[in-house]
Amino acid sequence: MTNERVFNFSAGPSVMPEEALLEAQKNLLNYKGSGMSVMEMSHRSPAFAEIFSSTQEKLRKALSVPDSHEILFLQGGATLQFAAIPMNLSSGGVTDYAVTGNFSNKAAKEAVKYCSVHIAASTAPEHNRIPKQEELNLSPDAAYFYYCANNTIYGTEWQYVPETKAPLVCDMSSDILSQPVDVSRFGMIYAGAQKNMAPAGLTVVIIDKTLAGKELPFTPQIMSYKTMIDSGSMLNTPPCWCIYMLGLTLDWLLANGGVTWMEQLKRERAKKVYDFLDNSSFYRAHALPDSRSDMNVTFRTGSAELDASFVKEAAQRGLVNLKGHKIAGGMRASLYNAMPMKGVDTLVEFMKEFERSHV
């Protein structure tokens, strides 16, 4: 039990900006004189239409999304996109996948049902690095090249955008809005909202409109990008509350300097932890230095018992959810956009103390 907010290092759903939560709280019972909360509104009402379009505009601004690309607000999580992508974009042909962690592996396995999957690169089983451009074994006729920008479980992150002839399809679930991206280089970017943007239940898809409309005939309507573009993401009820919360997160981000501000901040946050890890012989970072994620820092002590004590004692200090994913073990500190610098400083302080008292 605590009466204070903790530092929440959860990999997802994750910490949200306090400013966004307070704004939501302020409007919870009566949104702008409507007499109701956003949760209770018709998705076709003028009040919600304004929330929807302004959130779309703010996202377009934050990521400098060009007019060639549509922004969709969908449901089903990132996981539904593992199937929607090959259904809509493969035409049943050859597709290239870079498998650099759990989620890209899952995406490739799902895609096998709908198209011919060629593994263009794999870092299994360690998944402690990102392949170099020269290592990508690209098919000459791939419908798209698929990769996951940040590997949430293993803590590695692509430091470059691959060069491919095929359109790039990228899962940015765990690093979207953490740095500028040249959206025009991508056929499609998508992200589950619950890491860096909003509560769980919303999936953002940013897609080059020319790629839509070639879905396989059995594609469910709700998974068709063309249908969703044509209906303005409102074929059915969209995740209204999550869209509203994304808008509030974007207000916070844009008011503070947008993704260039966030890029500086995320580098600074991650560097503090990695610098400490590199100077310690007690802890070991999982990812190789040139492949490290700024969003999910994975490390361990070398003893499963000590790792467990670390997680437990950290929680007693208000540093929660530091346990690594079960397939990777060890610890994982997720330093998403809304993680305050004080959380990082307190974590590093605790790591020092824990080392001192356990060597």
Ligand X SMILES: *Cc1c(COP(=O)(O)O)cnc(C)c1O
CB of 107: closest distance to ligand X in angstroms? 8
Q: Which one of residues 152, 164, 219, 291 is an interface residue with ligand X (CB under 6 A)?
A: 152
Which residues are bridge partners to 208 per DSSP? 69
The residues, ordered by sequence, that sit 6+ positions from 195 with a Cβ below 8 Å of its Cβ are: 11, 12, 13, 14, 152, 173, 174, 176, 295, 334, 336
CA atoms within 13 A on the CB side of 299: 27
103 binds ligand X (CB under 6 A): yes
Cβ-contact 27, 37 below 8 angstroms: yes
Q: Which one of residues 69, 127, 195, 292 is an interface residue with ligand X (CB under 6 A)?
A: 195
Q: Which one of residues 164, 173, 233, 293 is an interface residue with ligand X (CB under 6 A)?
A: 173
Looking at the Cβ atoms of 14 and 301, the one nearer to ligand X is 14
CA-based nearest residue to 246, from 68, 70, 38: 38
Q: What gap in Å lies between CA 114 and CA 146, rounded to an integer?
A: 14
Q: Which one of residues 62, 83, 148, 347 is an interface residue with ligand X (CB under 6 A)?
A: 148
SS (HEC) of 91-150: CCCEEEEEECCHHHHHHHHHHCCCCEEEEEEECCCCCCCCCCHHHCCCCCCCCCEEEECE
Q: Count the neighbouring beta carbons within 10 Å of the beta carbon of residue 30.
A: 11
Binding segment (CB under 6 A) for ligand X, from list 1-9, 154-162, 166-174, 341-349: 166-174
* Per-residue binding letters, 35-54, with ligand X (x by CB under 6 A): --------------------
Q: How many residues bind ligand X (CB under 6 A)?
A: 12
Q: Which one of residues 7, 8, 9, 12 is an interface residue with ligand X (CB under 6 A)?
A: 12
Which residues are bridge partners to 207 per DSSP? 70, 188
CA atoms within 13 A on the CB side of 102: 13
Q: Name the residue type at position 188.
A: M
Looking at the Cβ atoms of 190 and 252, the one nearer to ligand X is 190
CB of 270: closest distance to ligand X in angstroms? 16
* Residue nearest ligand X, Cβ-based: 77
Tokens 């996951």 -> residue: 148
Q: Which one of residues 171, 208, 215, 294 is an interface residue with ligand X (CB under 6 A)?
A: 171
Tell me 305's DSSP state. Answer: H
Looking at the Cβ atoms of 77 and 329, the one nearer to ligand X is 77
CB of 75: closest distance to ligand X in angstroms? 10
CB of 109: closest distance to ligand X in angstroms? 13
Tokens 């549509």 -> residue: 70
162 binds ligand X (CB under 6 A): no
CB of 353: closest distance to ligand X in angstroms? 30
Q: What gap in Å lies between CA 106 and CA 108, rounded to an integer?
A: 5
* Per-residue binding letters, 56-85, with ligand X (x by CB under 6 A): ---------------------xxx------
Q: What gap in Å lies between CA 143 and CA 95, rounded to an integer?
A: 5
CB of 204: closest distance to ligand X in angstroms? 11
CB of 150: closest distance to ligand X in angstroms? 6
Q: Which one of residues 131, 162, 192, 239 is an interface residue with ligand X (CB under 6 A)?
A: 192
156 binds ligand X (CB under 6 A): no
- Contacting residues toward ligand X, per CB under 6 A: 12, 77-79, 103, 148, 152, 171, 173-174, 192, 195
